[in-house]
Amino acid sequence: MCCDLFFNIHSGYISIIFDISDNTNWLSSIFCLKIRTFSMATSLTIIQNFINNEYFPAKNFIASYDPAIGEVWAKVPDSDAEEVEQAYQAAKKAFSGWKKTTVEERSRLLLKIADILESRLEEFAIAESRDNGKPISVAKNGDIPRAVLNFRFFATSILHYQNRSTYQEAYSALNYTTRHPIGVVGIIAPWNLPMYLLSWKIAPCIATGNTCVCKPSELTSVTAYMLCDVLLQAGLPAGVVNMVFGYGSKVGEAIVSHPGIPLITFTGSTATGKIIQRSSAEHCKKLSLELGGKNSGIVFSDADLEKCIPTIVSSCFANQGEICLCTERLFVHEEVFEEFLEKFVEATRKLKVGDPTSPASTTGSLVSKDHLDKVKSYINMAVKQNGKIRCGHLVDDLDLSPRNKNGYFILPTVLTGLKDDSCVNQEEIFGPVVTVTTFTTEQEVIERSNNISYGLSATVFSRDVGKVHRVAQALDVGTVWCNCWVIRDLRMPFGGTKKSGLGRESQDDSLDFFTEQKTVCVKIDV
């Protein structure tokens, strides 16, 4: 492989243009990656905290790995409460002016952010893929376009956000509501959909007139850092958005426990969500928690298997199974179980696990070595509990290029023969692993699907419209997809029940969360 590097220093930035060509279909293209600081000696991306529209070098760093090759590619600030306090003060100062801007002005700025982000879509997609391990095609066609949409969606939604009013004749009283931004918001984003979910929180936060202190995952911080440059180019006022990078135990805890931050929005694990609840309880903070899932897919005997199996494969293994909405438990009616299993395993084996830069790859690497070990441990537990591996890890060969031999890859794995109370069927794995079991009756599968501590989503496959509606109403989850998966209307509420979280996110739900409602009563007969 040949790699030529050209350095172009301008406007305080360094543009690094890679001309890469080889015969392995790894990547034959020219792309430009603009990063504010770059270590030429080590070719590592050096990330800095972004506070009050300024970059601040870190005292200590965390190594961030390219999971497809298992090598360090970025250095992330190991920040602490001191940097969080600095960011909070900047956000607090900015709030006094930002909350007074008109919705039209905020809308224009969000649209400008979206336009700039879209103009750099390929650059962001490449960075997201390298940071997270997902195929570039997934980031290019999914993650980054959705981030662009998030800013555009809330830029326009805020223009149509309505207050309520009533008139009481008996008292000659007019009642009306107004909504107001609350202050500095703490935003904590996950590593599985870094830019997608960070933008999903930042956009409604600033659209409603709040300011924020953000903490991206220490595993996937690069695109959040790149977003800071977009915010500067768009002309966002200083202090409105601040990025503090580091560990959850330091930065996250400092944000959550800060007495001046009244709102916390978090997407991540249920275990961390519980910690946030405890840490924020003293200050009665307003919380939005989108947590874990152990989602079920139900396939009835009348389902069209030819149509539903591709959808089910996607629901189980998209983004390497690293989506809270992925299906981890499949219940298949006994009449079609054998036929379904044969076709499902065949379709799963057709997925191409490999280098995220290759157009042929449908599945990339997991995000970290620790996460890979966790996913493998659940498969090992399944074997110990008399489960049978139908395809994937331990039974099929993982064919990787020499470049990826140290990457964190695993084959999509299908398991059968496990009891419902198995830890593999009860705990969130968050990887490309699914269990398949049979069921006999509608009531049985509803009860078994609900017999879990999570309640994020489910999928139902049947050609019986009445059955689809009946089962959807009986499932104790926040979202049910019938004969489809992850068709998202951003106007509709999203969130979970039980240990899958608190609150909902959508057009109105998000705008409601980031504002405080006030009722005014005026007696007009005076």
Q: How many CA atoms lie within 13 A of 408 on its CB side?
A: 25
Active site residue 290: yes
Contact 228, 252 (CB under 8 A): no
Cβ-Cβ contacts under 8 Å for 18 (sequence gap 6 or more): 3, 4, 5, 30, 31, 33
Longest dimension (CA), the chain: 85
Spatial distance between the Cα atoms of 325 and 454, rounded to a whole number of angstroms = 11
Length of the chain as a residue count:
526
Bridge partners of 462, per DSSP, are none
Q: SS3 letters for 202-259?
A: HHHHHHCCCEEEEECCCCCCHHHHHHHHHHHHHCCCCCCEEECCCCHHHHHHHHHHCC
φ, ψ dihedrals at 161, nearest 5°: -80, 125
Catalytic-role residue among 205, 316, 324, 326 = 324
Contact 62, 173 (CB under 8 A): no
In the three-class reduction of DSSP (H, G, I as helix; E, B as strand; rest coil), residue 355 is classed as coil
Closest residue by Cα to residue 55 from 223, 232, 203: 232
Catalytic-role residue among 123, 290, 328, 428 = 290
Query: For residue 29, how many other CB atoms are within 10 A of its CB?
Result: 12
Contact 225, 47 (CB under 8 A): yes
Query: For residue 173, how many other CB atoms are within 10 A of its CB?
Result: 14
Cβ-Cβ contacts under 8 Å for 379 (sequence gap 6 or more): 389, 392, 393, 394, 413, 415, 433
Closest residue by Cα to residue 366 from 410, 315, 412: 410
Active site residue 391: no
Number of H helices, E strands in the chain: 16, 27
Which positions are catalytic? Answer: 290, 324
